[in-house]
Amino acid sequence: MDVRADYPLDNLNTLRLPARAQWYAEPASTEALVALLREPRWRGVPRTVLGGGSNLVLAGDISGLVIRPMMRGLRELPGGLLEVQAGEEWDSVVARSIEAGWQGLENLSLIPGSAGAAPVQNIGAYGVELCHHLAGLEAVSLQNGQIHHFTAEQCDFGYRESRFKSAEPGQWLITRLQLRLNRAPVLQLGYADLSERFAALPESGRNAAGLRQVICQLRREKLPDPAALPNAGSFFKNPVVEAAHWAALRERFPAIVGYPQADGRVKLAAGWLIEQAGWKGRRHGPLGMHERQALVLVNHGGASGATVLAFAEAVRESVQTMFQVQLEQEPVTLGSPGQALQARRSSPAGPPGAPGGDIITNA
Ligand SMILES: Cc1cc2nc3c(=O)[nH]c(=O)nc-3n(C[C@H](O)[C@H](O)[C@H](O)COP(=O)(O)OP(=O)(O)OC[C@H]3O[C@@H](n4cnc5c(N)ncnc54)[C@H](O)[C@@H]3O)c2cc1C
């Protein structure tokens, strides 16, 4: 398979941050992936997975082998399961599943990125999370190329969390998902703006396809399109605080937004906290928090990974000072600042050096 050297990643991340991969490959099948991982020449070389780049801060160049899975296909399995290959675009999976008469994914419409990355942070929107519909998945060990099946329980899903993001980051490449969907409608309308718009649809349109349309409309109104204004969606998770902390905050800030959790704690709206701390629409050089959605960090052009991280730290500090709440970054940071690829023209493990973007192996 083709492996390219010194490959530019600038157009492969939605924040449009400049970075390069030391080596870069796009396996189009699990067999090709396993063969690549087991090639002696890549022994000991670090491996990093890249999807659609929509949940990333590229802090600098990535040394080692960057692998972007490109396996494609959707197929129905017995027992109401839909199998989806990792390289499929997530939103196209949602659209095609609805067209094929399946229900359940409509609330996850228009989330950018690949299907393979969807379990990594257990994507969620409008009251639905991927884990509500994931029966299991197949992943390949990046260390030894062994194929492993995980049940949904084994994925340790939580709010924007899974074993692939927290406990074992960078250890697995997810190759395919098995989704459990419904044939009968079970529409999730638990958000005011959603239910109002849905109710306004003609009766014949009040189905999964209609709900998808409403969600796409709402998201287009609320979120900046990364193609027009580079961003990585919500930059911070909604923090969860203890009940006593919540009570104290409510006393000081009566308008604070919070959602009680089953364990007695309260989830706060990070966007509200950031807005109150004065960051909504504020800009420093090329970076800012979006004027309509304070939770979205945007790159107006020319930012680097290091400046994104410094800017985010300033936002985090002011929220901490004002509310004593620690914000946690949602996108994954990859690459290292200042880590110019020393091996741009040479290799630690055998592949011959080559000028930027050239194919260096064609096994
Ligand atoms: C405008 C916008 C709106 C968004 N809205 C939402 C939203 O509503 N809800 C939500 O949850 N997220 C949202 N996101 C975040 C993002 O779309 C999701 O996290 C998405 O799943 C990331 O997919 P990706 O393919 O782009 O992954 P990448 O950004 O390429 O990678 C993210 C992480 O997953 C790893 N990874 C990628 N592919 C694989 C794989 N096949 N196997 C193992 N690891 C892998 C990477 O190594 C990295 O650690 C939004 C982003 C944007 C830009």
343 and 278 fall within a common domain: no
Summarize the confidence of residues 102-114 as an average pLDDT: 97
Number of domains in the chain: 2
How far is it, in rounded angstroms, from Cα 71 to Cα 283? 39
Q: Which of 17, 53, 37, 177 is nearest to 105 (CA)?
A: 177
Whether residue 163 lies inside any domain: the answer is: no
Convert the pLDDT of each residue in 273-289 to its tens digit. Answer: 999 999 999 999 999 99
Instruction: Tell me if residue 196 is catalytic.
Output: no
Of 65-79, 81-95, 331-345, the one with minimum mean pLDDT is: 331-345
Would you state the pLDDT for residue 264? 95
Residues 294-323: b if buried by 16+ CB within 10 A, e if exposed:
bbbbbbeeebbbebbeebbeebbebbeeeb
Domain that includes residue 286, residue range: 236-329
Q: What residues does 84 pair with on adjacent strands? A: 74, 177
- Residue 203's identity, in one-letter code, is E
| Residue 313 located in a structural domain | yes
Residue 360: predicted pLDDT: 54
For the chain, what is the mean pLDDT?
93
pLDDT, tens digit, 9 for 90 and up, residues 7-59: 999 999 999 999 999 999 999 999 999 999 999 999 999 999 999 999 999 99
For the segment 227-242, what is each residue's pLDDT rounded down to a tens digit? 999 999 999 999 999 9
- Structural domain includes residue 39: yes
CA atoms within 13 A on the CB side of 116: 27
Is the CB–ligand 1 distance for residue 335 below 6 Å?
A: no
* 213 within a domain of the structure (yes/no): no
- In the structure, what pLDDT confidence band is assigned to residue 263 with cuts at 50, 70 and 90? very high
Q: How confident is the model at residue 337 (pLDDT cuts 50, 70, 90)?
A: confident
Q: By alpha-carbon position, which residue is closest to atom 12 of ligand 1?
A: 123
CA neighbor of 235 nearest in space, from 170, 160, 144, 185: 160
* Nearest residue (CA) to ligand 1, atom 23: 113
Active site annotation includes 160: yes
Q: 114 C-alpha vs ligand 1 centroid, how far in Å? A: 7
Q: Is 259 a member of any domain?
A: yes
pLDDT for position 348: 43
* Residue 323 domain flag: yes
Residue 13's nearest CA partner among 49, 60, 47, 52 is 52
CATH number at residue 59: 3.30.43.10
**In whole angstroms, what is the distance from residue 306 CA to residue 285 CA?**
13
Which residue's alpha carbon is nearest to atom 49 within ligand 1?
332
- Residue 303 one-letter amino acid: A
Q: CA-to-CA distance for 294 and 328, rounded, in angstroms?
A: 15
